[in-house]
Amino acid sequence: MPKLFDFELVFSQIPEILRYLPITLEIAFISMILSLLIGLATALIKIKQIPVLRRISAFYVSFMRGTPIIVQLYLTFYAVPMVLQYINYYYGTNYNTNSIPPILFVLLTFALNEGAYNSESIRAAIQSVDRGGIEAGHAMGMTTFQTLRRIILPEALIVALPTLGNSLIGLIKGTSLAFVCSVVEMTAAGKLLASRNFRFFEMYVSLAIIYWVVTIVLERLMAHWEKRLKVNERRLPVDDPNQRLAQEIR
């Protein structure tokens, strides 16, 4: 009777899967960085209540949060070449739609998707910042950008970091959907490797172990970073915004 479960195979094939871990991390971290920029811009648009952009950002957030990411991947994968073909036809250009690296579709989709979710976390974190520090910054002659960079964002980061950390962990696990755009990351590689011996269950156990370990490492790093930020925050007096601002500038 053949083995129903090959325990040794679970660990012996992990090194083969780990060869594709850099691709998974590349997708996750680049998408996360882009999503933070998109989320910050969207959050500021909502906070400042910019008339036209506010409606566009509300539609963007609603669409991204209301549709499955796998559908968004398919839309991006087929829509971008269609747009390039339209540009070629009407403007006489010669863009090669087949030369677009598939990973660009994945990065664009994940960045837009995460940006919609991160925008709400960032907006809530920014609005939780004490108004006294902001007013003190303006009183000392700071510009809006300087106040945002030196006062608002450092304090908002402490509030938003746990949520953003969870978003990053979810993004790493969500990269398993990149295969719909022909990007071979860890999960896709595992499926291809398992097709050689049809030991798919062992392969999925191996993938689960790798994702679990990566998640634990990220959780520890985020917890350590959050702790350090809170320690630095406690070193500053909170009862006097002007004094705290002066220490931050020094």
What pLDDT sits at residue 222? Answer: 92
| Residue 111 maps to a domain | yes
Q: Is residue 118 part of a domain?
A: yes
131 within domain boundaries: yes
Looking at the structure of the chain, the number of domains it has is: 1
- What number of other Cβ atoms are within 10 A of residue 228's Cβ? 10
| Lowest pLDDT segment from 53-67, 143-157, 203-217 | 143-157
Is there a domain that residue 1 lies in? Answer: no
Q: Which domain holds residue 100?
A: 8-249
Q: What is the mean pLDDT of residues 219-246?
A: 68
Residue 236 has pLDDT above 70, yes or no: no
Tell me if 99 is assigned to some domain. yes
C-alpha separations of 144 from 48, 54, 150, 199 in Å: 12, 19, 10, 58
Q: Is the pLDDT of residue 117 over 90?
A: yes
* 3 is a domain residue: no
Q: What is the pLDDT of residues 9-42, one digit of tens each?
A: 999 999 999 999 999 999 999 999 999 999 999 9
CATH code of the domain containing 94: 1.10.3720.10
Instruction: Report how far residue 38's alpha carbon sits from residue 42's, in angstroms, rounded to the nearest whole number.
Output: 6
Residue 203: per-residue pLDDT: 95
CB 199 within 8 A of CB 10: no
